[in-house]
Amino acid sequence: MHLHSTNVVAKHYAVLVIVLVCVFLAGFAWSWGPLGWLIPSEIFPIETRSAGFSVAVIMNFVFTFLVAQTFLTMLCHMRAGTFFLYCAMLAVMCLFAKYFLPETKGIPIDEMVERVWKQHWFWKRYYKDHDTGKGGLEIQDKPKENTIA
Instruction: Note the pLDDT of residue 2.
Output: 59
Q: CA 29, 33, 38: angle at the middle one, nearest 5?
A: 120
Count CA within 13 A, CB hemisphere, residue 21: 6
Residue 58 falls within a domain, yes or no? Answer: yes
What value does the mean pLDDT take over residues 99-115?
92
Q: Where in the sequence is the domain holding 39, given as residue range(s)?
A: 31-130
Check pLDDT > 90 for residue 121. yes
Residue 86 falls within a domain, yes or no? Answer: yes
Positive or negative, the Cα torsion across 102, 106, 109, 111? negative
Phi and psi angles of residue 2, each rounded to the nearest 5 degrees, phi first: -115, 130
Residue 81 falls within a domain, yes or no? Answer: yes
pTM, to two decimals: 0.70
Residue 24 falls within a domain, yes or no? Answer: no
Nearest to 39 by CA among 99, 86, 102: 102
Residue 122 falls within a domain, yes or no? Answer: yes
Q: Which parts of the chain fold into alpha helices (H)?
A: 11-30, 32-43, 49-78, 81-100, 112, 136-141
Residue 40 falls within a domain, yes or no? Answer: yes
Residue 2 falls within a domain, yes or no? Answer: no
Give the chain's domain count: 1
Q: Over the stretch 40-63, which tens digit does the pLDDT of each residue have?
A: 988 888 889 999 999 999 999 999
Residue 107 falls within a domain, yes or no? Answer: yes
Instruction: Note the pLDDT of residue 93.
Output: 93
